Structure 1
């Protein structure tokens, strides 16, 4: 199976390519320097030449705060880029998977969102990811849309690496406690995506590690498992203002994964333990 993966320079795209290679698939990982997804003609030509059996579209404009001001570029990448890839996939009869986000919801309440819940993004980033979803199912008959949240992986920056870096110089940290979701290890998510793309169980799915926590609880877990003596104070969202509104409820129900025969991802603490062990081995 030949699988083209966008966003190869990012956390998830990197792990998807690595997972596919481990299984013996022909993996083609592309970053923005290899394939400018906003260049319509080039996308059609590139995909037409490669003729992949499947495209896993991990690339995205993910600077949530910057998106509020840099709206043109955010729209071009998340909406126009996704349209271009969807049409290119249709042209070569390729399976298509689009990676989306919990930000398509309003982030209110305390009940996990299910796939069919009404989408009501509060920020521009979430709006463009939702429009990307709409592009996929308006252009293609069969598709996968996988929403995830709070990702961390070996390649690139993330919350875990930020906390570990701050622990080098800080004994006390204030971390938001009013936002709850599921940390998601891209290594585990990548395994699920490669499993999924081999099937024809199309549709929208939610995929995160099991269990819920706040950012403050996540930080405490990081320091506990890494042996860092950092005290974490849980603070309200209002004490950490950002340009873009952050969802207070990022809980996603994964029941549809189970109903369709896919294995749920491990508990987030177990995956965090595995990740920290990997980070330590890389540093040695």
Structure 2
């Protein structure tokens, strides 16, 4: 799954979701998020695609964003193409993705919140997810997005002191300075480097500690850097679960490497 595919994920047309849609919970794990101005977030929902619509069918038609008492319905394309199979639909609902549709979000301040809900054709709605604007960051925050065990996209923002470094490797050979039998000196003939981010979370709740194993074990991870999504790899092979009772205040410190390497020559 490439970076550009993630950037353009959205609701796709007409999906059969059953009569109990008002109890449907998105595949995204948390039911509440902290977001920051200019940040991205996603919700995901599963459904079954079909190619014809009967009178009694219930199908997905929009995502509803509610902010300060006003509802904004983001409609789904009316196309009915498709065959019967299982699908996961992802809906971009962070401030950066919604600001073009909901201009009022550009004036949001700390503590403001909005909700997102999936709506069906018969008026029923899925479980509501709440997004609350967090405080201005003391440091340069870095959001991390990752595919969870359900196939949905979860997001977590590392808000404390995050550091960036470059790992560089070189291939050298002995190069003659003049003619045969003279001494050689090392010369670089190939090399590469990549960037690694050492991320530090704020204090974790017990629920966050139990949930963030999803990021460590995920095979699809993206760093959000200057508004761009960059595919990445988590450099951790173990994860320590913590609780307030046993460990008091705890943080997550983890290194995440950009997946792409760069040539130095």
Q: Normalising by structure 1, report the TM-score.
A: 0.29
Higher normalized contact order (CA 8 Å, seq sep 6+, divided by chain length): 1
Structure with bigger gyration radius: 2
Higher strand share: 2
Higher helix share: 1
